[in-house]
Amino acid sequence: MPAAAPGSLRLIQSLAEPGTDLLRTREEAAAWLRTAGLLPAEAALSNSEHAALLRLREAVRDVLAAHADGREDPEAAARLTKALAEGRLVVTVDPASTVRLASAARASYPSVVAAVAVAIAESAAAGTWLRLKSCPAPGCGRPFYDDCGLPACPVHVAG
Ligand SMILES: [Zn+2]
């Protein structure tokens, strides 16, 4: 098992997880999103939404790879920024002056993107975003949470 990321970063870690490709078909992706609590039971994904979800995941993976290498990847960062824009994040203030990130989108897919965007924003605010990395071992790419200078996922850190 990869080291578990804290809090909302777990969502990003599971989204980026390789291996069993839960996002291979529209139906599998919708089922995965429902299990993650991101998609209402009655909602489905269109082909273009499924394609957008795959682009989002790819952008997340590329950014996590850049985290692992300690390098900047402007192209991946731009793709992630563009993919997250669909979540239409806004800041809400309630009567008790509690401030939250929320989505101005009403449709189900933009709400999924918004949940991912909020998770990234919260982890960045908590200082944990840069510690979520993808394993650089050949053929691995598993996302792991680096809380103590680990160079790779727990499977590859010894070898
Ligand atoms: Zn690995």
CATH code at position 84: 1.10.3300.10
Sequence-distant (6+) residues with CB within 8 A of 21 are 28
Predicted confidence at residue 20, as pLDDT, reads 57
**Which residues are found with C-beta within 5 Å of the ion, ligand 1?**
135, 137, 140, 142, 153, 155-156
Amino acid at 37: G
Amino acid at 76: A
In the block, tokens 């990395």 appear at 133
For residue 98, report the distance from its CA to the centre of ligand 1, in Å: 40
Predicted confidence at residue 89, as pLDDT, reads 95
- Ranges of residues in the chain with a pLDDT under 70 are 1-4, 19-21, 159
Alpha helices in 17-85 (DSSP H): 26-35, 47-69, 74-85
Distance CA 90, CA 118 (A): 10
- What six digits make up the tokens of 60? 């997340």
- CB contact at 8 A, 88 and 117: no
Is 63 part of a structural domain of the chain?
yes
Is 74 part of a structural domain of the chain?
yes
Q: For 17-52, what is each residue's pLDDT tens digit?
A: 886 567 889 999 999 999 989 999 999 999 999 999
Is 79 part of a structural domain of the chain?
yes
For residue 102, report the distance from its CA to the centre of ligand 1, in Å: 34
Of 101, 98, 135, give the one whose Cα is nearest residue 120. 101
Kindly report the number of other CB atoms within 10 A of residue 52's CB atom: 19
Give, in degrees to the nearest 5, the angle at Cα 98 between 92 and 103.
25
Range(s) of the domain holding residue 109: 9-145
Is 159 part of a structural domain of the chain?
no
Is 4 part of a structural domain of the chain?
no
Number of domains in the chain: 1
Sequence-distant (6+) residues with CB within 8 A of 57 are 15, 16, 23
For residue 115, report the distance from its CA to the centre of ligand 1, in Å: 27
For residue 64, report the distance from its CA to the centre of ligand 1, in Å: 13
For residue 156, report the distance from its CA to the centre of ligand 1, in Å: 5
Secondary structure element (H or E) that encloses residue 144, with its range? strand 143-145
Is 157 part of a structural domain of the chain?
no
For residue 148, report the distance from its CA to the centre of ligand 1, in Å: 16
Is 114 part of a structural domain of the chain?
yes
Predicted confidence at residue 87, as pLDDT, reads 96
Predicted confidence at residue 1, as pLDDT, reads 45
For residue 149, report the distance from its CA to the centre of ligand 1, in Å: 15
Kindly report the number of other CB atoms within 10 A of residue 20's CB atom: 9
For residue 36, report the distance from its CA to the centre of ligand 1, in Å: 24
